[in-house]
Amino acid sequence: MSTPATALRVTNLVGGVDLRLAGDRGAQLPLRELALSMAHVIYRPVWPRVLIKRMRSPRVTLLLYPTGQLSICGARSYSASVRAARRFVAMLHRRVPAQLLPHQNCACAD
């Protein structure tokens, strides 16, 4: 007995990026200052401390932790996830002191 073929559709892709703060391993991003300087963000000062950014294009939610970990939630494709990560890293480079982030461009590998 064979089962009918089912069409699968991706509705939610979750990805992560490690920004690896340059210098000291204990370095932390100034989330509060970033929240004050960026538009359309939510800052949660209690555990887990996180900066939440909802992007319209591509439609994703980004969670930035003080350690430099970035979670991308809600993307519908891998390319949308990569595009969102690159846009957000570009926003960070305009606001964070250059010595905290190691690279000027985001390299995403398969």
The DSSP secondary structure of 25-91, one letter per residue, reads TT----HHHHHHHSSSEEEE-SSSPEEEEEETTTTEEEEE-TTSEEEEEEESSHHHHHHHHHHHHHH
The pTM is what? Answer: 0.76
Which fold does the domain 13-95 belong to in CATH? Answer: TATA-Binding Protein (3.30.310)
pLDDT digits (tens, 9 = 90+) for 8-64: 887 888 888 887 665 556 678 888 888 888 888 999 888 888 999 999 989 999 999
Domain regions of the chain by residue span = 13-95
pLDDT digits (tens, 9 = 90+) for 85-107: 889 888 888 877 655 554 444 44
